[in-house]
Amino acid sequence: MLTEKLINLYDTTIIVKHTVYISTMDFTRLAALFHAYPMPIGYIPKYGTSGFRDHAKLLDAVVIRASAMMVLRSKEIKNHCGIMVTASHNPENDNGLKLIDYTGDMINEEFEHYATQLASCQSFEYVQSTLNNIISERNIDVGKYTGYILIGQDTRASGDHLITLCKKTILAMGGKYISLGQVTTPELHYSVASSNFNMKSVYKKLPYINNLMYAFRKLYHSNSYYEINVDCANGVGALRMFELAQHLYTYNIKVNLYNTNNGKLNDLCGADYVEKTLDFPANMHNVHENAICCSLDGDADRIVFFSKNRNKFTLLNGDKIACLIIKYLYNPFDNIESETSMCVVHTPYANGAFTTYIKDMFPSVHIQCAETGVKYLHRTAKQYDIGVYFESNGHGSVHFSQQALQNKAISTISNLLSQYTGDALGDLLFVLVALQQTSFLEWMYMYQDYPCKQVKLYGDKSLFATTDFGRKLLQPEGLQDKLEKVIANYSHSNCFVRPSGTEDLLRLYVECKNVNHVEMLLTDTVTVLSSYTQIEVK
Ligand code: G16
């Protein structure tokens, strides 16, 4: 209690009045936090597909270690960094951390490694020596710069407690926090990047929604009446969608919002549910034929579109969004510079019909596969002037090189399409811009997906390791050969299994040209897998 009071007192003093400079790192206050919130026995967290993620009750110690590391990163780079408390598409009881570097991108691989190292330390002495190693390895003058962290959270009930731990740790490390409250993940990425640009006075950035609307105003010229139906997954995206809907109303676009925190987060709704089940989210079964509908995920960094066509659910997933964007950018792109390179980056989950369509329609666009996780796609996309990257699950954006940004139109577009990570709201607005050129029905029928299915398998995922972007199994030994024999029985088929980096399960993807083969291959694959570990299919 006394400690709590002292920390609170220290909080206000440090934030409002002083900047505390220390020349060496004093870990005494961190030690108190470390001992008050021990790592659960036997729990070894790992920085995964999208940061740390698990049941919220397991995460106290992880938050303390990761927050301490982020203060050091901010001190090193003398710029703001960010911490987002979210478990995005996961169930309500989970939570997690997405760690944002000063550029607005997710932290780089070196810091991912430090994060995992810190999370696996059993004693405080070990944590202390790991932090000291980071300081000396990177030559960080811890007394020179305070270390500022922008912090945000989604709407999960467990978020408040984890955010409190973040704040206490940041202060214990001699840093300061700037709390943004409930924000979407892409908004926090944007805020970190723009706060650093502002500090350098390069140019003044607008607040998140204003920035999106500024770009939209320049790109959207239609007077037609539109109605769009947005499933907010009962998540933090709803808060921003209310704002956005008011703006769009002035453009003759009526936005109907569903699942706006009147139900359980991600439960029977949200981008992940819609994409995996190929079904309407809760409260949206009665949408009109060919109505434009979309679903956000829990932290609004993903979006998928859907509709009712011939009375059937029809999905327009990340692959389809990428196609619409490429179609919009392809021609102006030809006019920029002949040597400007354009690429589309996808994951193994991309449908075969998608890559065939890109090859046929846009022959000069490079096609690259990347491992699941938007950070991997983002890194690959950065190697090109125009890097369109989308996961089938709707997570993606377009990255533009400095050279491409010299073009005025591209520069405006870059304000809509996040330059840091996927952004459901920016992507939604850009889809509206692109639909000025391509009708919704044309987009829906651009190509037909080959029959496919993705299922969750509950089993011991620690037995599994993959290579080739997650398309082939390295472990358990011999299993890949057996799977390939099964797959060979079905012509033109694609099938892989990989451990999820965000949930305690395996994901199995099956795609066949013949619709009847999908269930058969799925069953055969599960039979083979079951001889290695007990499997439950969901
Ligand atoms: C996260 C990542 C995505 C990834 C998804 C599933 O999404 O940010 O890039 O596709 O997890 O990953 P996995 O198959 O490894 O569980 P989100 O929206 O939860 O942040």
Report d(CA 87, CA 105) in Å as an integer. 18
Yes or no: say if 252 and 225 are a contact pair by the CB < 8 Å rule: yes
State if residue 94 touches ligand 1 by the CB under 6 angstroms criterion: no
Atom of ligand 1 nearest to the CA of 373: 9
Q: How far is the CA of 421 from the centre of ligand 1 (A)?
A: 12
State if residue 503 touches ligand 1 by the CB under 6 angstroms criterion: yes
Element of type H or E holding 12: helix 2-12
Q: How far is the CA of 510 from the centre of ligand 1 (A)?
A: 19
DSSP secondary-structure letter at 16?
Answer: I
Q: Strand, helix or coil at 307?
A: strand
pLDDT (0 to 100) of residue 66: 98
Q: What average pLDDT does range 251-270 have in this prediction?
A: 97
Two structure tokens written together for 320:
């389809």
Under the banding of pLDDT at 50, 70 and 90, the label for residue 335 is: low
State if residue 378 touches ligand 1 by the CB under 6 angstroms criterion: no
Report pLDDT digits (tens) over 385-435: 999 999 999 999 999 999 999 999 999 999 999 999 999 999 999 999 999
Two structure tokens written together for 251:
């453009």
pLDDT (0 to 100) of residue 2: 30
Atom of ligand 1 nearest to the CA of 503: 16
pLDDT (0 to 100) of residue 6: 30
Q: Mean pLDDT highest for which of 201-205, 232-236, 332-336?
A: 232-236
Whole-number mean pLDDT of the chain? 92
Higher pLDDT, 89 or 11: 89
pTM over 0.85: yes
Q: Strand, helix or coil at 148?
A: strand
Atom of ligand 1 nearest to the CA of 87: 19
Report pLDDT digits (tens) over 15-59: 333 333 444 678 999 999 999 999 999 999 999 999 999 999 999
Atom of ligand 1 nearest to the CA of 272: 18
* Block residue for tokens 């944002």: 100
State if residue 346 touches ligand 1 by the CB under 6 angstroms criterion: no
Q: How far is the CA of 290 from the centre of ligand 1 (A)?
A: 29
Higher pLDDT, 18 or 245: 245
Pick from 502, 505, 507, 508 the residue to mutate for probing ligand 1's pocket: most ligand atoms within 8 Å of its CB.
502
Higher pLDDT, 20 or 150: 150
For the stretch 335-356, what's the b/e string if a residue is b when 16 or more beta carbons lie within 10 angstroms of its beta carbon?
ebeeebbbbbbbbbbbbbbbee
* Block residue for tokens 């704002």: 243
| Residues annotated as catalytic (active site), given as ranges | 88
Q: How far is the CA of 203 from the centre of ligand 1 (A)?
A: 33
pLDDT exceeds cutoff 60 at 169:
yes
Q: Rounded to a whole number, what is the distance in angstroms from the first to the last CA of the chain?
A: 45
Two structure tokens written together for 488:
């060979």
Report d(CA 55, CA 315) in Å as an integer. 30
pLDDT (0 to 100) of residue 24: 63
* Block residue for tokens 């021609």: 331
pLDDT (0 to 100) of residue 198: 56
Under the banding of pLDDT at 50, 70 and 90, the label for residue 72 is: very high
Pick from 46, 47, 49 the residue to mutate for probing ligand 1's pocket: most ligand atoms within 8 Å of its CB.
49
Report pLDDT digits (tens) over 443-455: 999 999 999 999 9
Q: How far is the CA of 50 from the centre of ligand 1 (A)?
A: 6
Distance of CA 140 to the CA centre of its chain: 29
Q: What average pLDDT does range 458-462 have in this prediction?
A: 94
